[in-house]
């Protein structure tokens, strides 16, 4: 949700000044006893239950090899601030996790090493098995800087029981935004007769990202060549639909109400009919028998598209034993494909029902979404870009303060300044 998203963005804004000192090519960090396994540290934001599960994976890998020994370095709070501080001191973990918005900056500053020579012809790495979107976020200037361990496309969850109660057709995989809007308006109503809407079709409060509309209308925010496109006709059409849902159709609670209660909580308590959530969200478990949950693909206009949260395992440029560290990175990443959903590889996607049985009902739609889900086109200043989009476009439209055209124009101007166009 937006609060967590912006805490990450704020941390990202601090990064440039702190990482420059960590770009030395000196090889420090990894240690190992001569003749014994190489000692490698793995940085993770995992905490509590997730950390325990990750530890089990690491323990199993350590048992299966005498080449390396992995030790987890858990950083459950202020992860990026602490990673950047360690990188500045050339003490970053040998391997660590990075979410997609940070990979370009770390690669550009030389904090992480390219993996191409290690994965080329490796028997345990098939780059063709990866879905295009997840693999692309680790690629910069024809070099591969990370292997993805999760692909979390945005899906459309819906309250099947509520749809049936209201006599509205449940969401379909081939729904257009107009069909979505029609259903959302039919769900939105004052159920207790007090003159105030208390049941909504959906929730839009900073989440989902604006790309949800821009991409499905054939537009781009910034294209693969680094050109700002958010003020072009296709993107503006998507922004118009975004504005229409909020300010004309009024199918979502206002910003204050939504953020006070929380979109996920409103969905779980039956206050909204449709919610844009990650494929791995555990709504099915949390809702239990309260109502029937459904999942399908995000609606579209001219193109099917959905944003995906993606994270990679990367290797510090300062790790001493790169050959062994790369081997550990490959083993660890492959093992995580059997832990987290959705895996970024086509072959491992078949295991989702074993990993999370409650998701089996939606396996087909998750497979389809995985084929076209993606992250943003790589930009080293993605944190600043995201902040500008919120400041000049997303929030003003949420508040009804700007037209889509004006918001797109001002956002484009801000983005061009950020990336130096």
List alpha helices for 350-403, DSSP H. Answer: 352-355, 363-372, 382-389, 395-398
CA–CA separation, 113 vs 105, rounded Å?
Answer: 12
Q: Whole domain around residue 46: which residue ranges?
A: 2-152+308-374
CA–CA separation, 181 vs 168, rounded Å?
Answer: 12
Q: Is there a single domain that holds both residue 288 and residue 159?
A: yes
DSSP state at residue 300: B
Q: Is there a single domain that holds both residue 74 and residue 111?
A: yes
Q: Is there a single domain that holds both residue 273 and residue 409?
A: yes
Burial class (CB in 10 A: 0-12, 13-18, 19+), 337: buried
Burial class (CB in 10 A: 0-12, 13-18, 19+), 375: buried
Would you say 319 and 40 are in contact if contact means Cβ atoms under 8 Å apart? yes
From residue 220, alpha-carbon distances to 186, 309, 350, 377, 385 in Å are 31, 17, 31, 9, 13
CA 283 to chain centre: 17
Q: Is there a single domain that holds both residue 132 and residue 186?
A: no
DSSP state at residue 176: B
Per-residue pLDDT of the chain (421 residues; tens, 9 = 90+): 333 333 333 333 334 333 333 333 334 434 454 679 999 999 999 999 999 999 999 999 999 999 999 999 999 999 999 999 999 999 999 999 999 999 999 999 999 999 999 999 999 999 999 999 999 999 999 999 999 999 999 999 999 999 999 999 999 999 999 999 999 999 999 999 999 999 999 999 999 999 999 999 999 999 999 999 999 999 999 999 999 999 999 999 998 888 889 999 999 999 999 999 999 999 999 999 999 999 999 999 999 999 999 999 999 999 999 999 999 999 999 999 999 999 999 999 989 999 999 999 999 999 999 999 999 999 999 999 999 999 999 999 999 999 999 999 999 999 999 999 8
pLDDT of residue 26: 36
Q: Is there a single domain that holds both residue 274 and residue 390?
A: yes
Count of domains observed in the chain: 2
Q: Is there a single domain that holds both residue 410 and residue 282?
A: yes
pLDDT of residue 331: 98
Which token pair is 162?
């509520």
pTM here is 0.91
Q: Is there a single domain that holds both residue 410 and residue 301?
A: yes
Residue 123: strand, helix, or coil: coil
Torsion of CA 93, 97, 101, 107, to 10 degrees: 40
pLDDT of residue 34: 60
Q: Is there a single domain that holds both residue 159 and residue 285?
A: yes
Q: Is there a single domain that holds both residue 56 and residue 34?
A: yes
Would you say 101 and 383 are in contact if contact means Cβ atoms under 8 Å apart? yes
Q: Is there a single domain that holds both residue 300 and residue 316?
A: no
Q: Is there a single domain that holds both residue 221 and residue 335?
A: no
Q: Is there a single domain that holds both residue 246 and residue 317?
A: no
Instruction: Read off the CATH number of the domain in which 342 is found.
Output: 3.40.190.10
pLDDT of residue 162: 98
């Amino acid at each position: 949700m937006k609060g967590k998203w912006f805490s990450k963005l704020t941390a990202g804004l601090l990064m440039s000044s702190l990482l420059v000192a960590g770009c030395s090519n000196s090889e420090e960090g990894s240690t190992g006893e001569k003749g014994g396994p190489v000692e490698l540290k793995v940085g993770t934001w995992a905490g509590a239950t997730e950390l325990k599960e990750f530890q089990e994976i690491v323990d199993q890998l350590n048992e299966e090899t005498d080449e390396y020994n992995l030790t987890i370095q858990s950083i459950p709070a202020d992860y990026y601030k602490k990673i950047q501080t360690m990188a500045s001191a050339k003490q970053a973990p040998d391997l660590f996790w990075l979410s997609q918005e940070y990979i370009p900056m770390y690669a550009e500053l030389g904090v992480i090493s390219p993996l191409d020579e290690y994965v080329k012809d490796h028997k345990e790495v098939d780059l063709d098995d990866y879905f295009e979107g997840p693999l692309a976020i680790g690629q910069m200037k024809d070099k591969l800087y990370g292997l993805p361990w999760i692909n979390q496309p945005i899906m459309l969850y819906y309250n099947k029981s509520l749809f049936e109660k209201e006599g509205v057709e449940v969401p379909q995989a081939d729904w257009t935004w107009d069909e979505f809007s029609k259903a959302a308006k039919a769900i939105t109503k004052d159920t207790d007769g007090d003159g105030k809407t208390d049941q909504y079709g959906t929730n839009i409060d900073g989440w989902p990202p604006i790309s949800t509309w821009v991409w499905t209308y054939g537009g781009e925010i910034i294209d693969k060549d680094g050109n700002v496109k958010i003020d072009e006709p296709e993107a503006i059409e998507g922004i118009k639909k975004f504005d229409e849902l909020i300010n004309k159709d009024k199918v979502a609670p206002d910003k204050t109400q939504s953020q006070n209660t929380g979109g996920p909580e409103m969905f779980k308590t039956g206050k909204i009919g449709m919610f844009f959530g990650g494929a791995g969200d555990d709504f099915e478990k949390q809702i239990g028998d309260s109502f029937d949950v459904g999942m399908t693909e995000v609606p579209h206009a001219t193109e099917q598209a959905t944003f995906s949260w993606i994270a990679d395992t990367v290797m510090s440029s300062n790790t001493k034993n790169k050959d062994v560290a790369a081997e550990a990175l490959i083993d660890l990443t492959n093992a995580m494909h059997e832990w987290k959903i959705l895996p970024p590889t086509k072959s491992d996607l078949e295991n989702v029902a074993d990993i999370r049985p409650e998701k089996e009902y939606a396996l087909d739609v998750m497979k389809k979404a995985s084929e076209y889900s993606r992250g943003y086109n790589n930009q080293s200043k993605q944190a600043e870009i995201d902040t500008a989009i919120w400041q000049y476009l997303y929030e003003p439209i949420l508040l009804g303060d700007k037209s889509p055209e004006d918001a797109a124009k001002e956002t484009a101007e801000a983005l061009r300044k950020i990336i130096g166009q």
